[in-house]
């Protein structure tokens, strides 16, 4: 009996070790990204939002050298998963080399100075919903930043922004809030702006598709 118990403990230990290695590899895949300086030009700004007053919503753009489609670059908005208040940092997706602008942002109360959003983090509540809505409006060229610049003016004349081709990429819980925003704020975020959504490791995991509307 004792020998059987020892063997069972050894088996469980090996399983636990494999699980820890798998988790570490997944974390490396997400966090061990190429430094920002090697991903493309980085531009930062703040978007005015009543949900993140007075500072606004902190936004980080990682720009490609050239756009993917005829010189125009689509915009992919990265929405962090779990209960993370911020998606700003190393590039979570290698999109610059694909001719796509990666937009990463911090929910109200998230981020760190000098890229910290105003307001208070409400665990993906109404403030976070309003903030993501305003980020989408900015990416679609319908809301200027805190200095009155559209996304195209912020990026500059060297790169054309396809403001009619915006996509949402939600990691885990990020996919949930993306769905909520598109449903709840449909009148302010029409389908002509957001063309597609993609969710990873959430209820919509593995689902990617065009938005209807």
CATH number at residue 43: 3.40.50.1820
What is the model's pLDDT at position 37? 37
Cis omega (within 30 of 0) for bond into 182: no
Same domain flag for 8 and 92 = no
Q: Which residue has the tokens 């570490």?
A: 24
Of 82, 67, 39, the residue nearest 152 (C-alpha): 67
Same domain flag for 23 and 115 = no
Strands 115-116 and 160-171: unpaired
Same domain flag for 132 and 179 = yes
44-100 tens-digit pLDDT: 999 999 999 999 999 999 999 889 888 899 999 999 888 889 989 877 678 888 999
Q: What is the mean pLDDT of residues 23-51?
A: 60
The half-sphere exposure of 130 on its side-chain side, counting CA atoms within 13 A, is: 17
For the chain, how many structural domains are there in total? 2
Of 130, 161, 139, 154, the residue nearest 67 (C-alpha): 161
Same domain flag for 13 and 99 = no
**b vs e for 136-150, b when ≥16 Cβ sit within 10 Å of the residue's Cβ?**
bbbbbbbbbbeeeeb
Same domain flag for 50 and 117 = yes
Same domain flag for 8 and 59 = no
Can you list the alpha helix ranges (DSSP code H) found in 46-186?
126-139, 151-155, 173-184
What is the model's pLDDT at position 26? 34
Same domain flag for 89 and 5 = no
Enclosing domain of residue 28: 1-32
144-196 tens-digit pLDDT: 999 999 999 999 998 999 999 998 988 778 888 988 888 887 666 655 567 66
Of 159, 164, 161, 172, the residue nearest 200 (C-alpha): 172
Same domain flag for 85 and 142 = yes
What is the model's pLDDT at position 190? 54
**b vs e for 185-210, b when ≥16 Cβ sit within 10 Å of the residue's Cβ?**
beeebeeebbbebbbbbbebeeeeee
């Amino acid at each position: 009996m004792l020998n059987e118990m020892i063997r069972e403990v050894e088996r469980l230990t090996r399983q636990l070790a494999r699980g820890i290695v798998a988790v570490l590899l997944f974390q490396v895949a997400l966090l061990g990204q190429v430094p920002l300086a090697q991903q493309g030009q980085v531009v930062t700004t703040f978007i005015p939002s009543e949900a993140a007053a007075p500072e606004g919503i902190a936004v980080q753009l990682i720009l490609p050298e050239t756009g993917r489609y005829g010189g125009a670059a689509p915009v992919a908005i990265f929405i962090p998963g779990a209960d993370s208040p911020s998606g700003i940092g190393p590039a979570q997706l290698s999109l610059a080399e694909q001719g796509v602008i990666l937009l990463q942002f911090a929910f109200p109360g998230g981020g760190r100075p000098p890229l910290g959003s105003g307001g208070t983090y409400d665990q993906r509540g109404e403030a976070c919903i309003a903030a993501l809505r305003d980020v989408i409006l900015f990416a679609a060229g319908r809301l200027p930043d805190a200095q009155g610049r559209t996304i195209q003016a912020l990026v500059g004349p060297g790169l054309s922004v396809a403001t009619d081709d915006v996509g949402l990429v939600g990691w885990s819980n990020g996919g949930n809030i993306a769905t909520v925003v598109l449903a709840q704020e449909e009148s302010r975020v029409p389908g002509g702006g957001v063309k597609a959504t993609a969710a990873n490791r959430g209820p919509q995991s593995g689902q990617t598709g065009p938005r209807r509307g």
